[in-house]
Amino acid sequence: MKVMPVRSSMSAPDETLSRAAEALRGGKLVGLPTETVYGIACSLAQPVGLKALKETLAIQNQPAWVIHVSSADGIGKIVSHVAPLARRLARRLWPGPLSIQLPLEPDDMERLAQLTGRQTAAETMVDGYVTFRCTEVDKTRQIIDLTGELVTIVGTAGNQSIGNAENLPPAIRRQLSVAVAGPAPRYKNISTLIRVTGHRLDVLREGAIAQRVIRRLEDTVIVFVCSGNTCRSPMAAGLALQILAEKLNIPSAELPSRHIVVRSAGVHAAGGMPAAVEAVKVLGAMGVDIQKHRSAPLTDDLLRRADMIFTMTQAHREEIISRMPTAAEKTFTLDPDGDIDDPIGKGEQAYRKTAQRLEKLIRNRVVEMEL
């Protein structure tokens, strides 16, 4: 391979990014920063680039190329049916130091082969799985996007603490067509590697993101909020469990195994109070048991964990946003057309009408949910 001099990245950023993308499309090697390592990149669509990468890094064993994408949408170029669990973790942890391994269907394998060639496709798969990564370094994601081809980035030993090519071994540095500078990696560990198969998640390698964090984030958490958490929100949570189970055609007790958690809370709730007698009776007639419910105050931790928060009134929503502005984009009034009044003290008939309204609204919301 012809040795290319390392070009300075001190020119205009847009020019550097364009030159890097052009080099990748031309089968050249490019130095790119990530949050865990300074890596050597090439296009998986260019056999000459892969050959140079193997020679430069002295890769002897069967490689398993990691496909680096500019966003979670990049997975869809290859994988036609991404499990909701994988989408959820990608949405929460990308960009970031997480590598996600996904199974390929026969059509997916053919699509990969068309994009990379059959030999490279075989080298990219591990037991029918392909690994994807989305770095949090903006300029690297921009270059991947500009390249328009599948890109892999491989780290080299001992370069976890540098943000540019200057400290790479000279023999490696000389092979780079473009060396893009970046900040020193934020993490000392490599990326965490997980495998997602349907509803199952396996942590294959614990790295920059701890396994306990992964496990905490794998659930879809739906929260219903009212004032005291003894009438409207526990009724809504009970009905939601029933409706979600119907949608998935499973018993409601199996929802946690499908990573679906439903909670209720009150913005002014005292802890430990049972659901209102009328609420228990009305929902019991609808086949929903909330006798074991005990009220709970709405905590910041629950707000952070929640994927969707449904309030009974606009005032509840405004109170939540005032308390935690970052929750605004995931907090909605359950009824977009108006408040759901508190039935407390208004008799069983008022509870029955509230339950019927809640059921209709929740069914409409569940239709929109990706589970």
In the 8-state DSSP scheme, what is residue 275? P
Taking phi first (over 0 means left), then psi (-120 to 50 degrees means alpha), and beta for anything else, what does residue 249 get? left
Of 19, 88, 195, 226, the active-site residue reads 226
Using CB atoms within 10 Å of the CB of residue 283, give its burial: 0 to 12 exposed, 13 to 18 middle, 19+ buried. buried
Q: State pLDDT tens for residues 192-220.
A: 999 999 989 999 999 999 999 998 888 89
CB 116 within 8 A of CB 97: no
Q: Does the annotation count 342 as an active-site position?
A: yes
Assigned CATH class of 13-216: alpha beta
Q: What is the mean pLDDT of residues 300-315?
A: 95
Q: Does the annotation count 232 as an active-site position?
A: yes
Q: State pLDDT tens for residues 137-164.
A: 999 999 999 999 999 999 876 545 566 7
| Residue 255: closest CA among 244, 269, 264 | 244
Instruction: Please give the pLDDT value at position 157.
Output: 60
User: 40: which 2 tokens?
Assistant: 């050597």
Q: Please spell the DSSP secondary structure of 210-229, one letter per residue.
A: -HHHHHHHSSEEEEEEESSS
Mean pLDDT, rounded, of the chain: 92
| Residue 179: closest CA among 38, 58, 50 | 38
Domain map (residue ranges) of the chain: 13-216, 219-366
The Cα 10–Cα 240 span in angstroms is: 56
| Cα–Cα distance list, 214 to 66, 116, 140, 193, 276 (Å) | 20, 31, 24, 10, 37
Residue 157 CB neighbour total at 10 angstroms: 8
Q: Does the annotation count 337 as an active-site position?
A: no
Of 108, 307, 335, 342, the active-site residue reads 342
User: 42: which 2 tokens?
Assistant: 């090439």
Q: State pLDDT tens for residues 81-111.
A: 999 899 989 988 999 999 999 999 999 999 9
Q: State pLDDT tens for residues 246-302.
A: 999 999 999 988 889 999 999 999 999 999 999 999 999 999 999 999 999 999 999
Inform me whether the pLDDT recorded for 7 exceeds 50.
Answer: no
| Cα–Cα distance list, 333 to 9, 28, 78, 213, 250 (Å) | 49, 53, 37, 29, 27
pLDDT band at 169 (very low <50, low <70, confident <90, very high): confident
Q: Please spell the DSSP secondary structure of 122-169, one letter per residue.
A: HHH-BTTEEEEEE-S-HHHHHHHHHH-S-EEEEE-TT-TT-SSGGGS-
- Domain 219-366 fold is Rossmann fold (3.40.50)
Of 88, 232, 263, 365, the active-site residue reads 232
Residues 6+ apart with CB under 8 A from 348: 278, 281, 282
Percent of the chain at pLDDT > 70 equals 94
pTM of the model: 0.77
Amino acid at 95: P
* 4 or 363: which leads in pLDDT: 363
Q: State pLDDT tens for residues 29-85.
A: 999 999 999 999 999 999 999 999 999 998 877 779 999 999 999 999 999 999 989
